Amino acid sequence: MAEASFAFFLLFLLPIGLLAVLFFLVRPRPVKIPIKNRHVFITGGSSGIGLALAHRAAAEGARVSILARSLDKLEEARNAIRLATGIEVAVFSADVRDFDAVKRAVDEAGPVDVLLLNHGVFYALELEKMELSEVKFTMDVNLMGTLNLIKAALPAMKNRKDPLPASIALVSSQAGQVAFTENKRKPELTKIIASSSGSMKAEEVAQKALDGIKCGSFIVSCNFEGIALSVATAGLTPQRSFLMAFVEVVAAGILRIVALCMQWSWYGSIEKYHSQRKMERPPLRKTLSRIGGPGE
């Protein structure tokens, strides 16, 4: 009888009690962020995921502005979106590292409702082969460029007359989750490890990203690996859904085991790679030298 009561508590009462606690504990509360008839400003919008986001937002009735460095690519993107959706988008050519140029573009575009920071650069090289100038360029574009956009757009976003909630979304690489980056310059070992994850098309990522933004999600994961990683690394991450919070609490330990299994697989790939490289190296030739003494 005692065992049955304990099993009932463990399998039924404990989960229900945890859900009840999380329902009152989880903050902030769920929110909807509409896209239709609102201004969506997208950086890196001339190609890749940024262009797919612009297509998707325009198709859903948003007023879209896209920013990138190349004016020619921006014009191509604008024409492609017009042909696909019949919607005219605004284009702005600026380097995100230049705050003044970014500020002028944002001011000209007008108050932003949804700011999508999609710009970014990535050098697929081992650190020892990467120049410090490349590291600095990456930091200037990815970090300082993001701060420049937020600083330029935030004041007007806070002073909007629109009572609906606004959003700032940062698009980051899921390097260990989605093999989306190009393989042309990627180190061979990185290709081997990344091949264990599924690839996704830009259009798929854009659709999932916009759906997540409209739901007010703090983290928007695009596939199973992304969801697993977000749960495993939830930590102090805000969570609007008490159901998702329940999954994070319950699955944390299980996902740690899954992560260790993934690492075991990766280290196996690394060891195999280095073993193959050793076998492919040409054998070292031994050179015998004779040192002659006096009189020789």
CA distance 51 to 78: 9
pLDDT digits (tens, 9 = 90+) for 82-96: 999 999 999 999 999
Q: Where do we find the tokens 């949804």?
A: 114
Name the amino acid, one letter, at 283.
P
Q: Any long-range contacts for 276-280 (C-beta under 8 Å, 24+ apart)?
A: none
Distance in angstroms (rounded) separating the CA atoms of residues 41 and 76 = 17
CA 181 to chain centre: 11
Please answer whether residues 118 and 49 qualify as being in contact, where contact means their C-beta atoms are separated by less than 8 angstroms: yes
Q: What residues are paired with 41 via a beta bridge?
A: 65, 115
Helix residue ranges, H only, the chain = 2-8, 14-25, 48-59, 71-85, 99-109, 132-139, 145-158, 188-194, 202-214, 224-232, 242-280
Least confident of 1-10, 202-211, 224-233: 1-10
CA–CA dist 168, 151 (Å, integer): 11
- 210-263 per-position pLDDT tens digit: 998 998 888 888 777 777 777 777 777 888 887 888 888 888 888 888 878 878
Alpha-carbon dihedral sign for residues 226, 49, 145, 59: negative
Per CATH, is 27-172 categorized as 2.70.70.10? no
90-93 and 114-117 as β-strands: parallel, antiparallel, unpaired? Answer: unpaired
Do residues 96 and 116 lie in contact, with contact meaning Cβ atoms separated by under 8 Å?
A: no
Model's pTM, two decimal places? 0.76
Q: What is the pLDDT of residues 155-185, one digit of tens each?
A: 999 998 888 999 999 988 655 333 344 445 5
Share of the chain above pLDDT 70, in %: 81
Instruction: Of 36-50, 68-82, 139-153, 242-256, give the lowest mean pLDDT range.
Output: 242-256
Which residue has tokens 């600026």?
A: 94
Measured at the alpha carbon of residue 16, what is the angle toward residues 10 and 18, in degrees to the nearest 5? Answer: 90
